[in-house]
Chains A and B, each alone.
Chain A
Amino acid sequence: MSGDNRRRLDMAIVDDIQLVSVRIEGQLIGLPITSVRDVFSIHAMTPVPRADRAVAGLVNLRGHIVTILDLGSLLNARKTGRPKDHEPMAVGVEWQGEVFGLVVDEIGDVLSLSADSSEAMPANLGHSWTRFTRRVHKLERELMIEIDLHALLETMTLQAA
């Protein structure tokens, strides 16, 4: 770790962009903690036949029906189907008064980062990502894409057939 990097990390703590790190198809993705309501594991999920493929199903979350969306499909990052976990993890997001659960492959720590360590999205990431990618954080070992969840859900409305 260079001195330069260390300085940035120190600043990150000060600047305090807090992101929940998740993994989709191996890619590290950061979700702003301010838009994450909770994190829960999915038990019995009711599939919704004929729905958009991003709709994983419905679950009973403490007496409320929550629609579970597959973050991977939303991001168009799925090459194959969603891995068939037994009890997949989901991130709860509130959008327009409604709670959605976003299934992720893996859920990691909450990271505090600085905007300094980030850059605008590289152009080759593809147009579809620009709408909901805020920036790319350069972590020590890999890159993390910070996603604007609300923009993502907004986009999904358009995609739903």
Chain B
Amino acid sequence: MDDLLKDFVVETSEHLDIVDAELVRFERDPNNSATLALIFRLVHTIKGTCGFLGLPRLEHLAHAGEDVISGFRDGKPVTAPAVTMILKTIDRIKGIIAEIEKNGAEPEGDDEDLVTALRALANGEALPEDAPAPALAAVGAETSGSLAFQVLERNLREDEVTLDELERAFREAPGPDAVSFAATAVPDSAPNPAKEPARAEAAPAAKTAAKSSTDKSFADKSASKPEAAAEGGEGGGDNQNSVSKQSVRVSVGTLDRLMTMVSELVLTRNQLLEIARQRDDADFKSPLQRLSHITAELQDGVMQTRMQPIGSAWTKLSRVVRDLSAELGKKIELVTSGAETEIDRQLLEMIKDPLLHMVRNAADHGLEMPDERVAAGKPAHGTIHLRAAQESGYIIVEVADDGRGIDLDRVKAKAIRNGLTTEADAARLSDEQILRFIMEPGFSTAQAITNISGRGVGMDVVRSQVEQVGGVVDLRSRAGKGLTVTIKLPLTLAIASALIVEAAGQRFAIPQISVAELVRTQESGEVRIEKLNGQSTLRLRQKLLPVVDVADELGLEAARGEDGSAGKAAGEDKLVVVCHVGGHRFGIIVDSILHTEEIVVKPISSKLRHMSVYSGATILGDGSVILILEPAGVARSVIDSSSREGTGQSEAELAAELAASTERSLLLLFRAGGVNLKAIPLAFIGRLEEFERSKIEDTGGKAVVQYQGRLMPILGYPSQSGFGEGFDLESRQPVLVFHQKDREIGMAVDEIVDVVEVAIEIDTSHAVPGTVGAAIIDGKAVEIVDVSELVAPEGSEKMGATSEEHVDVMLVEGSEFFRALFAPLLQNAGYRLSVVGSMQQAKAAMARQRPAVVVLDLDQPGEEGFAFVRELAEAGFDAPVIGLVSRAAPKLIERGKAAGLYDLVGKFDRQGLLGALGEALGGYGNTQWGVAA
């Protein structure tokens, strides 16, 4: 059944129960206008909802009922029959609701009988002539029913029964639920034998009442809960699985109180556990364990009561999308998954609006018009994906569209115009950071933004609302492919998991939601903290991560010295909490990490709320109060200071970015001479070819093939000796073609496996001859083939000249792997080359070799690379320096040029490097070529 309908059933059942009760009260006290107003409102609501949901039969009934009640409001006398009529109407409605609940649709049939009677009542007629009101019994007759307060307006007619009789008939019937619905309203059809036994019992009773009355409307109460009996077959007839009976409505306030109490209980339990830890009393342990267990279950249970499937917030969205689709003339499909994911209702309430915003944005601005989409090679139908999932203790909600994505340049321009950043700063920002501008308050208020960036309406609202509930928003945009907004939310608001850390003798809590990992640094190890222009950075997995020391940030250094516990001397092992907040990654240095604890987050005093470093406070198990750090707040001071202060820190940022740019490179995976996978960076391979083996000739022990009108030698692998033996001459031989300066060289391989995009981490310690090392790709060790051996001009030195003479190009490359790659490349290009492993060596060799160009790998030294460039300039070397980075993002190039680099080239951009070299060597390039040749 449709969720909406389900909710309607539950809600309406409740409303009806209230109306029932209220009506009864009303009847006793007809002058109570408050009661009347309540009844009217409820019936009105039911009517309205029915109309909305397309339930004409119910609507019709409710409408008629409403008219009568409205009459009461206008001062018409409240008569017992009128009330009974209404009650009956309500029973009928209940019957229909029960049917809907079971079958998901309104049952067949009509309620003209009731409606006519109700209309008659509403119009003030006693009741139509042919259908005289029968039950206006009361006083005149010997009635004593509970409904007997009403004055009978006329005498009982011949063919009428008293109300009392009617009532008795009702009571004798097995209950309204047991009585068949159907056409029993009409006397003739009442004894319908087609139904089950329960009905048989009901029928006579109903008949008693019905027979004596020609009044359709008063046939009996059997009109009430009919289908249940008809189908259930049993007297009770209540569908055991009925939605309305399964759930109990509890006020949110009650749940919130329960939750608060459970939170306190959790705290108390934590306190007890703490005491037990200290005492180590065995008697305590087992009951405490039990208490702990029960508390946890209770906590789960209470949290469960607050949980709602997130889908309930989505139902509205499909409607929104449908409307927008029509309005905008776009074809939009809303695809949802994970609608059953449960989420704290309070959270749900708070993200409803952000969700709506995001979906509307996606439909309005993200998706293109159908013709645009088709032109872009996309299906005309735009798709918005709504996904929800529970992942490791958080709720992840994602709104993804397959539209045009966000134009970063426009966002950047807009951000600069709005004063959110400066041109210089913007150039240094990562895509992710630029993207985040659309969530800045100052950004979206500018109304023109919708036309300009295509996005941004209300995104600041989205962010603030999500952050308010302790969540984080992430944006991912792929140009032309769409935008994905991901919201990560805690499972519940009240209790959060936190890391308890200590800095300078004071404990703090850091919410787990923002913690990515914990790292112990070592002075001399792989992971260490280094200073870049006074700023600490952590070298973690070859990436530089800005780090801040909590004690410094909070000005605790003094206290640290005081309490004698003595700060950790610089360089000593440190603990770093690596946080990922809002697109920023950074580390927070702490003295120690104590444990994790479920904490009840209490808001911080209004007097401290302006402090962005704290998000709240909590009471720990031992009763002490600790502050909850807001990592974004702690980081903000870093980020802010870096943009405020001079170049030093901005370069630190650049360095971090350089590090972050250690992007992925394409590797060709193949097999040759063994089962192990081998790899060569794709950039070094000219072409992939397949030759018929019969075409491969053997000239003087060397394999050659005719290729583009020339003979191309084919190097076998691993040795040429095995070549040509045992091959099926009919089959084709895959060959990797390498371009050399003036010719091609082929390399025969057994099989070309794949091209993969990976972040290469090369372990050169395992280099064996013919390889430059091994890398792990998809968990498998892959040998990286030493291309220099294969493509270096025959007879030339493998590692390039290290002569004392002047050289054209000095390659400063710390990585053996890249040395092995670049040296042959540059030599092949005809340059006299010297290769050095570090900037120190470069400095030493500079004076002697006087290179015309320096090629410097910037990935490793990062910031120092720029310092080196400056030093060279200061020392009077005017040789242009070409920087090599893993990925030459435009802004990096710009930055690099600002730092004095001649050019920045991507490491795997072979042509780019050669082009830049040629350009740098300028006019005398040709001579150099000549010399080299």
Contacts and interface: CB of A to CB of B under 8 A. Distances in A.
Contacts of A96: 606
B240 interface: no
Interface stretch (A16-24, A43-51, A104-112, A136-144): A43-51
B848 interface: no
Nearest to B609: A160
Interface string A76-105: 000000000000000000001010100000
Nearest to A52: B607
B624 interface: yes
B611 A51 contact: yes
A55 B611 CA distance: 12
A49 B555 contact: yes
A156 B609 CA distance: 13
Contact of B608 (A48, A59, A60, A63): A48
20 contacts: A44-B624, A46-B506, A48-B608, A49-B554, A49-B555, A50-B554, A58-B605, A59-B625, A60-B623, A60-B624, A60-B625, A63-B267, A65-B602, A65-B605, A65-B619, A67-B607, A69-B607, A100-B607, A157-B607, A161-B610
A50 B611 contact: yes
B626 interface: yes
Interface residues of A, number: 23
Contacts of A46: 506, 617, 624-627
Interface string B594-631: 00000000100111101101100111000111110000
Contacts of B624: 44, 46, 60
B3 to A, nearest CB: 38
A156 B610 CA distance: 13
Contacts of B555: 49-50
A48 to B, nearest CB: 6
Nearest to A59: B625
A56 to B, nearest CB: 11
Contacts of B805: none
B14 to A, nearest CB: 34
Given A44-B625, A59-B625, A60-B624, 18 more contacts: A44-B624, A46-B617, A46-B627, A48-B611, A48-B627, A49-B506, A49-B556, A50-B554, A50-B613, A58-B617, A58-B625, A60-B625, A65-B618, A65-B619, A67-B605, A67-B608, A157-B606, A160-B610
B409 interface: no
A55 B602 contact: no
Closest 7 CB pairs of A and B: A49-B554, A67-B605, A46-B625, A58-B625, A60-B625, A65-B617, A65-B602
Contact of B605 (A44, A47, A100, A161): A100
A51 B602 CA distance: 18
B264 interface: yes
Contacts of A44: 623-625
Contacts of B623: 44, 60
A55 B608 contact: yes
A98 B604 CA distance: 10
Contacts of A65: 602, 605, 617-619, 625
Contacts of B617: 46, 58, 65
Interface string B549-567: 0000011100000000000
A60 to B, nearest CB: 5
Contacts of A98: 605-606
Contacts of B625: 44, 46, 58-60, 65
Contacts of B610: 160-161
How many residues of B sit at the interface, in one of the four size bands? 20 to 34
Interface of B: 264, 267, 506, 554-556, 602, 605-608, 610-611, 613-614, 617-619, 623-627
- Which of A48, A50, A52, A161 is packed against the most chain B CB atoms within 10 Å? A48
B156 to A, nearest CB: 65
Nearest to A153: B607
Contacts of A52: 607
Contacts of B619: 60, 63, 65
A46 B614 CA distance: 13
Nearest to B554: A49
B732 to A, nearest CB: 71
B120 to A, nearest CB: 57
Contacts of A160: 607, 610
A82 to B, nearest CB: 15
Contacts of A60: 619, 623-625
B260 to A, nearest CB: 11
A47 B607 contact: no
Interface in A35-77: 44, 46-52, 55, 58-60, 63, 65, 67, 69
A44 B267 CA distance: 18
A46 B628 CA distance: 12
A151 to B, nearest CB: 15
Contact of B627 (A58, A59, A156): A58
A50 B552 CA distance: 11
Contacts of A157: 606-607
Contacts of A67: 605, 607-608
Contacts of A50: 554-555, 611, 613
Contacts of A48: 608, 611, 614, 627
A114 B611 CA distance: 42
Determine which residue in A59, A60, A65 has the highest number of CB atoms from chain B within 10 A of its CB, and name it: A65
Nearest to A58: B625
Nearest to A97: B606
Nearest to B264: A63
B607 A55 contact: yes
B915 to A, nearest CB: 53
A7 to B, nearest CB: 44
B628 to A, nearest CB: 11
Nearest to B624: A44
A96 B605 CA distance: 11
A44 B624 CA distance: 7
A157 B623 CA distance: 28
B262 to A, nearest CB: 14
Residue in A49, A69, A157 with the greatest tally of chain B CB atoms within 10 Å: A49
Contacts of B267: 63
A7 B210 CA distance: 93
Nearest to A57: B625
B506 to A, nearest CB: 7
B506 A51 contact: no
A52 to B, nearest CB: 7
A40 B555 CA distance: 29
B775 to A, nearest CB: 45
A49 B619 CA distance: 17
Nearest to B550: A49
Interface string A98-132: 10100000000000000000000000000000000
Nearest to B618: A65
B883 to A, nearest CB: 40
A107 to B, nearest CB: 22
Nearest to A96: B606
A36 B52 CA distance: 56
A52 B609 CA distance: 11
Nearest to A45: B625
A117 to B, nearest CB: 34
A48 B609 CA distance: 12
Scoring B267, B607, B614, B617 by chain A CB atoms within 10 A of each residue's CB, the highest score goes to: B607
A60 B271 CA distance: 13
Nearest to A46: B625
Contacts of A51: 608, 611
A69 B555 CA distance: 19
Contacts of B606: 96, 98, 157
B430 to A, nearest CB: 29
A79 B507 CA distance: 30
A72 B324 CA distance: 61
B62 to A, nearest CB: 44
A96 B606 CA distance: 9
A100 B788 CA distance: 74
Contacts of B618: 65
Nearest to A49: B554
Max count, chain A CB within 10 A of own CB: residue among B506, B610, B619, B625:
B625
